[in-house]
Amino acid sequence: MALTNSQALPIGNISFTTFQLNGFYSLGEWRRFLFIPYFLMFLLCVIANSILIFLIISQRSLHSPMFVLIGVMAVVDLLMPMFVVPNMLLSFLFDWNQISLLGCLMQIFWVQVFGAFQSTLLLWMALDRFFAICRPLSYHKHMQITNFLKFVIVPVIRNLLINIIMVSLAGKLHFCMKNEIDHCFCEHMGLVQLACQNTSINSVLGLTATLIITTADFIFITVSYAIIFTSVIKSGKSSSKAINTCVTHIIVITFSLVLVLTAFLSYRLGTNASSNIRIFISTMYALFPSCFNPIIYGVRTKEIRLQFLKYFNRVKVFSQ
């Protein structure tokens, strides 16, 4: 959709309050076909996470701390794409690509908050495995909600505070360069780079957020599992289940870390890579973990898999 002269050129100190999301527009007519894969991934996300949440809520045998954390992860995975994918799908089909500044800031905030909690939940799962394997006698004591809260409060405050500051500072910028964002949804640096003033603080804060949240969680998880591996090896016990759980968590957070760092650094390194590749990586960060976390934890976790099969068989018998 072409811009009028009054839209393209702000007058005086007027700052844009409406933006156009032009992600994948270089694909031309082929852009509409992106609706199919993204819709299928979104559908998988909704169905898989909904089933996982239902199983954990309805089956009393899955009410232990580890499965509760997996259930919370499924809630986060279900909500995160809701702020991004529906708008993307409408844009692919009908070219509905406008978004207000407030809507853009809200999108940035919720995507980053839920993204931060994805890695933080993996950290809490690592703590659960640490107490279960390395401190089994005091496991229930440490995992009581009153005691576990001390491991919850600090990361929650960290995630919310950093993202509130980032979005607040971005909202105070003066956007007078252009109002076209080369993306399918609002991303922090995608919006910040449109400002016509010094954005060094915003850039540093974005890098700090990546280091303090995702990278820090990755380091703590890796250290926790290194201690778990060492403890299992020294005890001489069967380590297959512990290694299976630990490796799964490390693979998930490593994949997420690679995606977020790649998307983040692409704005700063000035690479010659196609903008479509950068946009694709960012959309995968927002959607891929939400699609496959429930499958990973549902299929690879024996207790959840058995409860699903039992429930499916009961429904099958009842329907007959």
Q: What is the pLDDT of residues 96-110, one digit of tens each?
A: 888 999 999 999 999
8 Å CB contact between 257 and 214: yes
User: Is 163 part of a structural domain of the chain?
Assistant: yes
**pTM value?**
0.84
- Closest to 52 in 3D by CA, of 277, 222, 293, 286: 293
pLDDT, residue 116, reads 87
Is 50 exceeded by the pLDDT of residue 46?
Answer: yes
User: Is 74 part of a structural domain of the chain?
Assistant: yes
Q: 193-238: per-residue pLDDT in tens?
A: 888 888 888 888 888 887 888 788 888 888 888 888 888 777 765 5
Structure tokens at 255: 């994949």
The percent of residues above 70 in pLDDT, for the chain, comes to: 86
C-alpha span between 156 and 153 (Å, rounded):
5
Torsion sign over Cα 120, 122, 128, 131? negative
pLDDT, residue 43, reads 94
Place of tokens 């290694």: 243
User: Is 57 part of a structural domain of the chain?
Assistant: yes
Q: 260-297: per-residue pLDDT in tens?
A: 777 666 666 655 557 788 888 888 888 888 888 888 87
**Domain range enclosing 62:** 31-319
User: By CB neighbour count within 10 A (0-12 exposed, 13-18 middle, 19+ buried), where does 56 fall?
Assistant: buried
8 Å CB contact between 96 and 90: yes
Q: What is the mean pLDDT of residues 62-71?
A: 86
Residues 6+ apart with CB under 8 A from 123: 155, 217, 220, 221
Helix boundaries (H) for 80-187: 85-94, 101-134, 139-143, 145-171
User: By CB neighbour count within 10 A (0-12 exposed, 13-18 middle, 19+ buried), where does 103 fall?
Assistant: middle
The least confident of 54-63, 123-132, 136-145 is: 136-145
pLDDT, residue 38, reads 94
Is 60 exceeded by the pLDDT of residue 10?
Answer: no
Measured in whole angstroms, how far is the alpha carbon of residue 13 from the centre of its chain?
Answer: 36
User: Is 9 part of a structural domain of the chain?
Assistant: no
Q: Which amino acid is at 293?
A: N
Residue 195's domain is classified under what CATH number?
1.20.1070.10
Rg (CA), the chain: 22
pLDDT, residue 167, reads 92
User: Is 253 part of a structural domain of the chain?
Assistant: yes
More confident residue, 252 or 291: 291
User: Is 26 part of a structural domain of the chain?
Assistant: no
Counting the structural domains of the chain, the total is 1
User: Is 251 part of a structural domain of the chain?
Assistant: yes
User: Is 19 part of a structural domain of the chain?
Assistant: no
- Closest to 2 in 3D by CA, of 25, 34, 29: 25
